[in-house]
Amino acid sequence: MNSVPPVAGQPRHDTDAVTAEFDICQPFQLDSSSFRGRLIRLGPALDEIIRRHDYPDELAPLLADTILLAATLASSLKYDGIFTLQTKGDGPVAYTVSDVTSVGDLRGYARFDADRLAEQRRHKGFQPDLGAMLGSGYVAFTVDQGEHTERYQGIVELRGATLADAVRHYFRQSEQLAASIKSFVSKDADGRWVGGAIMLQALPPENAGVFSEHQAGVREEDWHRAGVMLETVTAHELLDPALSVNDLIYRLFHEESPRIYERRELRPGCRCSRERVTDVLRSLDRGDLDELRVDGLVAVTCEFCNATYSFNDTELDEVYAAF
């Protein structure tokens, strides 16, 4: 990771004018304690993914949270492949899922029962929190680096009012990673979805085994102090397009000597294609395709991006002739 010199005095800008910064991951480090951090801010990418489907007002924020937290967690890992964050429950929302490729392509999707959600909505005092939407279930974190590699998966029960609460619960259950996260999603003044998150990690030092009791105590105090600073961030700060991410990092952690690293871009990107759909069709018996017919064509719609791939009988002949 290429770094620039530590922030000193005031944060540097590439230009004098502060411009909106969206769809980026900004890594940083607190030099005074060697804690790592990531600041994620999503805008057009998040809005595009959400608007590909006509989700109910109660569901869209949950999916936006899933996409934002997937991007945030993926940014803390070194992998060459796909990171997936999935929630699954027995409530009116069956699941939400988002994945992030190692080059920054995002996508997300939610499956829900419209009738059950409408019934839930009619209950007095209904609040679209995690329990009301998903019921009982779990959150799964998966890293898939392709064939010939071992797939990693972590699972934790759904707990708390928000998905971020469930992620924090996962961190508390982990003995290998101390991490803290703060996130917000909302619509801006023009009705477009935006999201922002900051994640701090306290990775075990290489010489942790020889830490004195005093050194361990100092590190614990450093972690507590950084966490208190993180908790002061507001939704307005994380989502404000007029506040650069570097300014925000400095505003929160200027006493900790923040070091800014090279940022990464994030973008909406679905991996579906006509070729992939063709491979799926070949795995099915042609006689089973009638239920996929729409106006005489076999139509397959991607759950993520809502793109539809249609095949007439002549094209199906070619699909199965090549098999």
Output the pLDDT for position 20.
52
> Residue 149: what pLDDT?
82
Supply the pLDDT for residue 3: 40
Looking at residue 122, what is its pLDDT? 86
For the chain, helix, strand, coil in percent to 5 are 35, 30, 35
Beta strand 93-101 with 105-112 is antiparallel
Task: For residue range 68-113, list pLDDT tens digits in order.
Answer: 999 999 999 999 999 999 999 999 999 999 999 999 999 999 999 9
DSSP per-residue letters across 93-118? EEEEEEEEETT-EEEEEEEE-HHHHH
State residue 18's pLDDT score: 35
Q: Return the pLDDT at 241.
A: 85
Q: What stretches in the chain show pLDDT beneath 70?
A: 1-20, 175-177, 204-216, 322-323
Please enumerate in sequence order all residues whose Cβ is within 8 A of that of 272, keeping only pairs 6 or more positions apart, or say none: 302, 304, 305, 307, 309
- Position 175 scores a pLDDT of 56
How many C-beta neighbours within 10 Å does residue 6 have? Answer: 14
Residue 146's pLDDT is 82
pLDDT of residue 10: 38
Kind plus residue range of the DSSP H or E element containing 130: helix 130-134
Structural domains of the chain, ranges and CATH numbers in brackets:
24-268 (3.55.30.10), 274-321 (3.90.1280.10)
Contact call for residues 156 and 120 (beta carbons, < 8 A)? no
Single out the residue of 190, 191, 192, 172 nearest to residue 181, CA to CA. Answer: 172
Task: Find out whether 211 and 222 touch, Cβ atoms under 8 Å.
Answer: no
